[in-house]
Protein backbone atom coordinates (compact mmCIF):
# COMPACT_ATOMS: atom_id res chain seq x y z
CA UNK A 1 0.00 0.00 0.00
CA UNK A 2 1.45 3.38 -1.04
CA UNK A 3 1.88 6.10 1.58
CA UNK A 4 -0.58 8.99 1.66
CA UNK A 5 1.07 12.18 0.41
CA UNK A 6 0.21 15.87 0.48
CA UNK A 7 -0.26 15.79 -3.31
CA UNK A 8 -2.87 13.05 -2.98
CA UNK A 9 -4.75 15.02 -0.32
CA UNK A 10 -4.67 18.21 -2.40
CA UNK A 11 -5.86 16.32 -5.49
CA UNK A 12 -8.84 15.10 -3.48
CA UNK A 13 -9.64 18.59 -2.19
CA UNK A 14 -9.47 20.04 -5.70
CA UNK A 15 -12.45 17.92 -6.70
CA UNK A 16 -14.80 19.95 -4.48
CA UNK A 17 -15.86 23.53 -5.18
CA UNK A 18 -16.78 26.04 -2.48
CA UNK A 19 -20.14 27.31 -3.88
CA UNK A 20 -19.53 30.82 -2.58
CA UNK A 21 -15.96 31.26 -3.79
CA UNK A 22 -16.60 29.23 -6.96
CA UNK A 23 -13.19 27.64 -6.42
CA UNK A 24 -11.86 24.52 -4.77
CA UNK A 25 -10.13 25.03 -1.37
CA UNK A 26 -6.64 24.62 -2.79
CA UNK A 27 -7.06 27.05 -5.70
CA UNK A 28 -8.82 29.54 -3.40
CA UNK A 29 -5.83 29.54 -1.05
CA UNK A 30 -7.91 28.35 1.90
CA UNK A 31 -5.67 25.45 2.97
CA UNK A 32 -3.67 26.41 6.06
CA UNK A 33 -2.48 23.01 7.21
CA UNK A 34 -2.23 19.42 5.98
CA UNK A 35 -0.90 17.01 8.60
CA UNK A 36 -0.37 13.39 7.57
CA UNK A 37 0.55 10.89 10.24
CA UNK A 38 0.50 7.43 8.75
CA UNK A 39 -3.10 6.66 7.84
CA UNK A 40 -4.49 9.68 9.72
CA UNK A 41 -4.99 13.00 7.90
CA UNK A 42 -5.79 16.39 9.42
CA UNK A 43 -6.66 19.37 7.23
CA UNK A 44 -7.31 22.92 8.39
CA UNK A 45 -9.02 25.43 6.10
CA UNK A 46 -9.45 29.15 6.69
CA UNK A 47 -12.32 31.01 4.99
CA UNK A 48 -12.38 34.78 4.71
CA UNK A 49 -16.15 35.20 4.98
CA UNK A 50 -18.80 34.59 7.64
CA UNK A 51 -20.30 31.12 7.14
CA UNK A 52 -21.28 29.49 10.44
CA UNK A 53 -24.31 27.79 8.86
CA UNK A 54 -22.16 26.34 6.07
CA UNK A 55 -18.75 25.47 7.42
CA UNK A 56 -19.64 22.37 9.49
CA UNK A 57 -21.36 20.73 6.53
CA UNK A 58 -18.44 21.73 4.29
CA UNK A 59 -15.99 20.16 6.74
CA UNK A 60 -18.00 16.93 6.92
CA UNK A 61 -18.19 16.65 3.13
CA UNK A 62 -14.43 17.08 2.74
CA UNK A 63 -13.77 14.68 5.61
CA UNK A 64 -15.82 11.95 3.90
CA UNK A 65 -13.95 12.62 0.66
CA UNK A 66 -10.56 12.31 2.34
CA UNK A 67 -11.56 9.09 4.11
CA UNK A 68 -12.35 7.56 0.72
CA UNK A 69 -8.67 7.86 -0.28
CA UNK A 70 -6.87 4.52 -0.37
CA UNK A 71 -4.63 4.26 2.68
CA UNK A 72 -6.53 6.79 4.82
CA UNK A 73 -8.13 5.29 7.94
CA UNK A 74 -9.39 8.53 9.43
CA UNK A 75 -9.54 12.18 8.44
CA UNK A 76 -10.32 15.37 10.33
CA UNK A 77 -11.19 18.65 8.66
CA UNK A 78 -11.43 21.90 10.58
CA UNK A 79 -12.82 25.04 8.94
CA UNK A 80 -11.91 28.35 10.61
CA UNK A 81 -13.11 31.81 9.66
CA UNK A 82 -10.92 34.92 9.61
CA UNK A 83 -12.55 38.06 8.20
CA UNK A 84 -9.88 40.50 7.08
CA UNK A 85 -10.35 44.28 6.80
CA UNK A 86 -10.89 45.71 3.35
CA UNK A 87 -8.12 47.90 1.92
CA UNK A 88 -9.73 51.29 1.39
CA UNK A 89 -9.60 53.18 -1.87
CA UNK A 90 -6.76 55.67 -2.23
CA UNK A 91 -7.26 58.91 -0.27
CA UNK A 92 -10.25 57.42 1.60
CA UNK A 93 -9.52 56.95 5.32
CA UNK A 94 -10.59 53.70 6.94
CA UNK A 95 -13.51 53.76 9.34
CA UNK A 96 -12.57 53.09 12.96
CA UNK A 97 -13.62 49.64 14.23
CA UNK A 98 -15.18 48.61 10.89
CA UNK A 99 -13.47 46.00 8.70
CA UNK A 100 -15.74 45.97 5.64
CA UNK A 101 -18.47 48.31 4.40
CA UNK A 102 -21.18 47.01 2.08
CA UNK A 103 -23.35 49.51 0.20
CA UNK A 104 -26.85 48.32 -0.69
CA UNK A 105 -28.13 50.59 -3.44
CA UNK A 106 -30.83 50.95 -6.06
CA UNK A 107 -31.45 53.27 -8.96
CA UNK A 108 -34.99 54.01 -7.80
CA UNK A 109 -37.17 53.64 -4.73
CA UNK A 110 -39.75 50.95 -4.11
CA UNK A 111 -37.66 47.97 -5.21
CA UNK A 112 -37.08 46.49 -1.75
CA UNK A 113 -33.61 47.92 -1.12
CA UNK A 114 -34.11 48.55 2.61
CA UNK A 115 -35.68 45.12 3.11
CA UNK A 116 -32.70 43.55 1.36
CA UNK A 117 -30.24 45.58 3.48
CA UNK A 118 -31.96 44.56 6.74
CA UNK A 119 -32.09 40.86 5.86
CA UNK A 120 -28.50 40.92 4.58
CA UNK A 121 -27.29 42.40 7.88
CA UNK A 122 -29.27 39.88 9.93
CA UNK A 123 -28.13 36.98 7.76
CA UNK A 124 -24.48 37.99 8.16
CA UNK A 125 -25.01 38.08 11.94
CA UNK A 126 -26.54 34.58 11.83
CA UNK A 127 -23.40 33.44 10.03
CA UNK A 128 -21.34 34.51 13.05
CA UNK A 129 -20.15 37.98 12.01
CA UNK A 130 -20.27 41.18 14.05
CA UNK A 131 -22.57 43.40 12.00
CA UNK A 132 -23.89 46.94 11.96
CA UNK A 133 -26.36 48.68 9.67
CA UNK A 134 -26.37 52.38 8.84
CA UNK A 135 -29.63 53.80 7.53
CA UNK A 136 -28.28 56.34 5.07
CA UNK A 137 -31.68 56.86 3.44
CA UNK A 138 -32.10 60.29 5.02
CA UNK A 139 -35.38 61.19 3.33
CA UNK A 140 -37.07 57.87 4.08
CA UNK A 141 -35.32 56.08 6.98
CA UNK A 142 -36.96 52.75 7.71
CA UNK A 143 -34.42 50.52 9.45
CA UNK A 144 -35.66 51.51 12.91
CA UNK A 145 -39.10 50.10 12.05
CA UNK A 146 -37.66 46.99 10.40
CA UNK A 147 -35.54 46.21 13.46
CA UNK A 148 -38.43 46.76 15.85
CA UNK A 149 -36.87 49.78 17.57
CA UNK A 150 -39.52 51.79 19.41
CA UNK A 151 -40.38 55.24 18.09
CA UNK A 152 -38.61 57.97 20.04
CA UNK A 153 -35.59 55.81 20.92
CA UNK A 154 -32.43 57.90 21.05
CA UNK A 155 -28.79 56.73 20.99
CA UNK A 156 -26.60 57.25 24.04
CA UNK A 157 -23.78 59.78 23.84
CA UNK A 158 -20.28 58.57 24.67
CA UNK A 159 -17.56 60.99 25.81
CA UNK A 160 -19.73 63.88 24.58
CA UNK A 161 -18.66 63.03 21.03
CA UNK A 162 -19.72 59.55 19.94
CA UNK A 163 -23.19 58.21 19.17
CA UNK A 164 -23.64 54.68 20.51
CA UNK A 165 -25.56 52.54 17.99
CA UNK A 166 -28.72 50.81 19.19
CA UNK A 167 -28.53 47.01 19.21
CA UNK A 168 -31.46 45.00 17.88
CA UNK A 169 -31.54 41.30 16.96
CA UNK A 170 -27.77 41.16 17.44
CA UNK A 171 -27.07 43.97 14.96
CA UNK A 172 -25.82 47.49 15.74
CA UNK A 173 -28.22 50.00 14.17
CA UNK A 174 -27.81 53.73 13.49
CA UNK A 175 -30.23 55.96 11.63
CA UNK A 176 -31.01 59.64 11.21
CA UNK A 177 -34.51 58.67 12.38
CA UNK A 178 -33.04 58.21 15.89
CA UNK A 179 -32.00 61.87 15.93
CA UNK A 180 -35.16 63.45 14.54
CA UNK A 181 -38.93 63.15 14.83
CA UNK A 182 -40.11 60.29 12.60
CA UNK A 183 -43.08 62.36 11.48
CA UNK A 184 -40.97 65.37 10.47
CA UNK A 185 -39.75 65.25 6.87
CA UNK A 186 -36.13 66.14 6.10
CA UNK A 187 -36.61 69.25 3.97
CA UNK A 188 -32.92 69.67 3.26
CA UNK A 189 -30.86 70.40 0.19
CA UNK A 190 -28.29 67.87 -0.99
CA UNK A 191 -25.17 69.46 0.61
CA UNK A 192 -26.91 69.64 4.00
CA UNK A 193 -27.89 65.99 3.82
CA UNK A 194 -24.39 64.94 2.74
CA UNK A 195 -22.83 66.85 5.62
CA UNK A 196 -25.23 65.43 8.20
CA UNK A 197 -24.75 61.92 6.89
CA UNK A 198 -20.95 62.13 6.95
CA UNK A 199 -21.14 63.40 10.51
CA UNK A 200 -23.39 60.46 11.41
CA UNK A 201 -20.95 58.01 9.83
CA UNK A 202 -17.79 59.46 11.35
CA UNK A 203 -19.21 59.98 14.86
CA UNK A 204 -20.92 56.64 15.44
CA UNK A 205 -19.05 54.41 17.90
CA UNK A 206 -19.28 51.12 16.04
CA UNK A 207 -18.10 48.22 18.21
CA UNK A 208 -15.58 46.08 16.33
CA UNK A 209 -17.62 45.27 13.21
CA UNK A 210 -16.75 42.69 10.58
CA UNK A 211 -19.36 44.19 8.24
CA UNK A 212 -21.25 47.49 8.15
CA UNK A 213 -24.22 47.39 5.79
CA UNK A 214 -25.15 50.84 4.46
CA UNK A 215 -28.74 51.23 3.28
CA UNK A 216 -28.11 53.87 0.62
CA UNK A 217 -30.67 56.42 -0.57
CA UNK A 218 -32.23 55.52 -3.94
CA UNK A 219 -30.82 57.20 -7.02
CA UNK A 220 -27.39 58.38 -8.18
CA UNK A 221 -27.18 61.99 -7.00
CA UNK A 222 -24.67 63.98 -4.97
CA UNK A 223 -25.53 62.19 -1.71
CA UNK A 224 -24.65 58.82 -3.21
CA UNK A 225 -21.46 60.15 -4.77
CA UNK A 226 -20.38 61.75 -1.48
CA UNK A 227 -20.86 58.46 0.34
CA UNK A 228 -19.10 56.48 -2.37
CA UNK A 229 -16.12 58.84 -2.49
CA UNK A 230 -15.63 59.53 1.24
CA UNK A 231 -16.48 56.18 2.82
CA UNK A 232 -14.19 53.14 2.28
CA UNK A 233 -16.77 50.87 0.67
CA UNK A 234 -15.61 47.28 0.05
CA UNK A 235 -18.35 46.58 -2.47
CA UNK A 236 -21.88 47.37 -3.55
CA UNK A 237 -24.99 45.25 -3.96
CA UNK A 238 -27.49 46.56 -6.53
CA UNK A 239 -31.17 45.88 -5.85
CA UNK A 240 -33.74 45.93 -8.64
CA UNK A 241 -36.99 44.40 -9.83
CA UNK A 242 -37.45 42.77 -13.26
CA UNK A 243 -39.40 45.82 -14.47
CA UNK A 244 -37.76 47.60 -17.41
CA UNK A 245 -37.90 51.02 -15.70
CA UNK A 246 -36.25 49.68 -12.55
CA UNK A 247 -33.55 47.95 -14.60
CA UNK A 248 -32.82 51.18 -16.47
CA UNK A 249 -32.21 52.99 -13.19
CA UNK A 250 -30.26 50.05 -11.75
CA UNK A 251 -27.83 50.30 -14.67
CA UNK A 252 -27.10 53.88 -13.65
CA UNK A 253 -26.34 52.65 -10.15
CA UNK A 254 -23.88 50.07 -11.46
CA UNK A 255 -22.17 52.70 -13.60
CA UNK A 256 -21.94 55.16 -10.70
CA UNK A 257 -20.04 52.67 -8.54
CA UNK A 258 -17.76 51.87 -11.45
CA UNK A 259 -16.99 55.56 -11.83
CA UNK A 260 -15.80 55.79 -8.22
CA UNK A 261 -13.88 52.48 -8.40
CA UNK A 262 -16.10 50.50 -6.04
CA UNK A 263 -16.63 46.83 -7.00
CA UNK A 264 -20.19 45.79 -7.72
CA UNK A 265 -20.52 42.47 -5.89
CA UNK A 266 -23.70 41.49 -7.71
CA UNK A 267 -27.39 42.06 -8.27
CA UNK A 268 -30.40 41.14 -6.12
CA UNK A 269 -33.71 40.81 -7.96
CA UNK A 270 -36.80 41.40 -5.82
CA UNK A 271 -40.43 40.69 -6.76
CA UNK A 272 -39.27 38.23 -9.39
CA UNK A 273 -42.40 36.10 -9.27
CA UNK A 274 -45.72 36.01 -7.42
CA UNK A 275 -47.11 32.69 -6.20
CA UNK A 276 -50.87 32.77 -5.64
CA UNK A 277 -51.62 31.75 -2.05
CA UNK A 278 -54.91 30.12 -3.12
CA UNK A 279 -54.02 28.10 -6.21
CA UNK A 280 -50.22 28.18 -6.36
CA UNK A 281 -50.14 29.75 -9.83
CA UNK A 282 -46.84 31.52 -10.57
CA UNK A 283 -47.02 34.86 -12.35
CA UNK A 284 -44.22 37.29 -13.30
CA UNK A 285 -46.04 40.55 -12.54
CA UNK A 286 -43.04 42.82 -13.20
CA UNK A 287 -41.43 40.93 -16.07
CA UNK A 288 -39.11 37.96 -16.18
CA UNK A 289 -35.33 37.51 -16.16
CA UNK A 290 -34.49 41.21 -15.87
CA UNK A 291 -32.04 40.82 -13.00
CA UNK A 292 -30.22 38.02 -14.78
CA UNK A 293 -29.89 40.12 -17.93
CA UNK A 294 -28.56 43.09 -15.95
CA UNK A 295 -25.99 40.92 -14.18
CA UNK A 296 -24.89 39.35 -17.47
CA UNK A 297 -24.60 42.74 -19.18
CA UNK A 298 -22.16 44.02 -16.54
CA UNK A 299 -20.29 40.78 -15.91
CA UNK A 300 -21.45 40.34 -12.31
CA UNK A 301 -23.47 37.63 -10.57
CA UNK A 302 -27.18 37.48 -9.85
CA UNK A 303 -26.77 36.97 -6.10
CA UNK A 304 -30.42 36.29 -5.27
CA UNK A 305 -33.87 36.25 -6.83
CA UNK A 306 -36.72 36.74 -4.37
CA UNK A 307 -40.49 36.45 -4.85
CA UNK A 308 -43.17 39.07 -4.36
CA UNK A 309 -44.26 37.83 -0.96
CA UNK A 310 -46.73 39.17 1.60
CA UNK A 311 -44.74 37.43 4.35
CA UNK A 312 -41.60 39.46 3.57
CA UNK A 313 -43.61 42.68 3.79
CA UNK A 314 -45.48 41.77 6.98
CA UNK A 315 -42.39 40.52 8.80
CA UNK A 316 -40.40 43.67 7.93
CA UNK A 317 -43.26 45.96 8.99
CA UNK A 318 -43.55 43.99 12.22
CA UNK A 319 -39.94 44.63 13.21
CA UNK A 320 -38.74 41.07 12.58
CA UNK A 321 -37.49 40.59 9.01
CA UNK A 322 -37.77 37.16 7.41
CA UNK A 323 -34.24 36.08 8.33
CA UNK A 324 -35.13 36.00 12.03
CA UNK A 325 -38.94 35.76 11.89
CA UNK A 326 -38.85 32.48 9.94
CA UNK A 327 -35.19 31.43 9.84
CA UNK A 328 -35.83 27.96 8.43
CA UNK A 329 -38.00 29.15 5.54
CA UNK A 330 -36.94 28.93 1.92
CA UNK A 331 -36.82 32.74 1.64
CA UNK A 332 -34.58 33.01 4.73
CA UNK A 333 -32.23 30.45 3.20
CA UNK A 334 -31.97 32.65 0.09
CA UNK A 335 -30.90 35.56 2.29
CA UNK A 336 -28.32 33.34 4.04
CA UNK A 337 -26.90 32.32 0.68
CA UNK A 338 -26.82 36.00 -0.29
CA UNK A 339 -24.90 36.88 2.87
CA UNK A 340 -22.28 34.19 2.34
CA UNK A 341 -21.86 35.09 -1.34
CA UNK A 342 -21.44 38.79 -0.55
CA UNK A 343 -18.86 38.03 2.14
CA UNK A 344 -16.99 35.66 -0.17
CA UNK A 345 -16.77 38.24 -2.94
CA UNK A 346 -15.39 40.82 -0.54
CA UNK A 347 -12.83 38.28 0.66
CA UNK A 348 -11.81 37.73 -2.96
CA UNK A 349 -11.31 41.45 -3.42
CA UNK A 350 -14.43 42.13 -5.46
CA UNK A 351 -13.27 39.99 -8.39
CA UNK A 352 -16.85 39.81 -9.61
CA UNK A 353 -16.63 43.44 -10.66
CA UNK A 354 -13.94 42.84 -13.22
CA UNK A 355 -14.70 43.21 -16.89
CA UNK A 356 -17.21 46.04 -16.63
CA UNK A 357 -17.15 48.82 -19.22
CA UNK A 358 -15.33 52.00 -18.24
CA UNK A 359 -17.53 55.06 -17.80
CA UNK A 360 -16.51 58.39 -19.28
CA UNK A 361 -18.26 61.67 -18.51
CA UNK A 362 -18.06 64.50 -21.03
CA UNK A 363 -19.76 67.84 -21.52
CA UNK A 364 -20.77 67.07 -25.10
Q: Is residue 86 one of the residues assigned to a domain?
A: no
pLDDT tens digit string along 227-286?
777 888 999 999 988 766 667 777 888 888 888 888 999 989 887 655 655 665 454 544
| pLDDT single digits (tens) 97-155 | 899 999 998 877 778 899 999 999 999 999 999 999 999 887 778 898 999 999 888 99
In a domain, 202, yes or no: yes
- β pairing state of 74-81 and 40-47: parallel
CA distance 269 to 262: 20
Task: Evaluate whether residue 93 is within a structural domain.
Answer: no
pLDDT of 203 strictly over 50: yes
Question: In terms of domains, do 118 and 235 share one?
Answer: yes
Point out the domain boundary residue: 56, 81, 106: 81
Give mean pLDDT, residues 288-304.
74
DSSP characters for 316-342? HHTT--HHHHSTTSHHHHHHHHHHHHH
Residues 52 and 183 in one domain: no
If asked whether residues 74 and 118 sit together in one domain, one would say: no
Same-domain check for residues 289 and 320: yes
> At a CB cut-off of 8 Å and minimum separation 6, what does 54 contact?
20, 127, 340
**Per-residue pLDDT averaged across 283-301, rounded?**
65
39, 110: one domain: no
Given a cut of 70, whether residue 351 has pLDDT beyond it is no
Q: How confident is the model at residue 77 (pLDDT cuts 50, 70, 90)?
A: very high
- Is there a single domain that holds both residue 262 and residue 132? yes
Same domain as 116, residue 66: no
The kind and range of the H/E element at 181 are none
CB atoms within 10 A of CB 327: 15
Query: What's the pLDDT at 361?
Result: 33
Provide the residue range defining the domain that includes 318. Answer: 98-353
Please, which pLDDT band fits residue 358 given cuts at 50, 70 and 90?
very low
Tell me, yes or no, whether 308 lies in a domain.
yes
- 24 and 114 co-located in one domain: no
CATH classification at residue 339? 3.40.50.300
362 domain residue, yes or no = no
Q: Are residues 232 and 133 in the same domain?
A: yes
Q: In this structure, is residue 309 part of a structural domain?
A: yes
What is the mean predicted confidence (pLDDT) over 187-202?
A: 74
The reported pLDDT for the residue numbered 2 is 66
Q: Same domain for 215 and 125?
A: yes
Same domain, 21 and 121: no
- Domain membership of residue 207 (yes or no) is yes
The answer to whether position 87 is within a domain reads no
In a shared domain, residues 33 and 62: yes
Domain boundary among 47, 81, 115: 81
pTM of the model: 0.88
For 24-61, the pLDDT digits (tens) are 999 999 999 999 999 999 999 999 999 999 999 999 99
Structural domains counted in the chain:
2
113 and 241 Cβ atoms separated by less than 8 Å: no
CATH number, residue 31: 3.30.300.130
Torsion angle (degrees, nearest 10) of CA 225, 201, 108, 148: 180
pLDDT confidence tier of residue 354, bands split at 50, 70 and 90: very low
What pLDDT is stored for residue 112 in this prediction? 85
Percent composition of the chain: helix, strand, coil (DSSP 3-state, to 5): 35, 20, 45
Amino acid sequence: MSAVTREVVETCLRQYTDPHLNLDPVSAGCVREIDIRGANVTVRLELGYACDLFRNGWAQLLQMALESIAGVDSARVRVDVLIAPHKAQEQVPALVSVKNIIAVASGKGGVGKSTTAANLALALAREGARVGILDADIYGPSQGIMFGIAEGTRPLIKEQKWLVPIEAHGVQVMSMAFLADENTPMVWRGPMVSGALMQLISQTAWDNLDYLVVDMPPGTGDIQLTLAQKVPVAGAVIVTTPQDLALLDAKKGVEMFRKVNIPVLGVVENMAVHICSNCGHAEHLFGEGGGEKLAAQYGVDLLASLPLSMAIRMQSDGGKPTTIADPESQIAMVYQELARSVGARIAQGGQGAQGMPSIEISDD
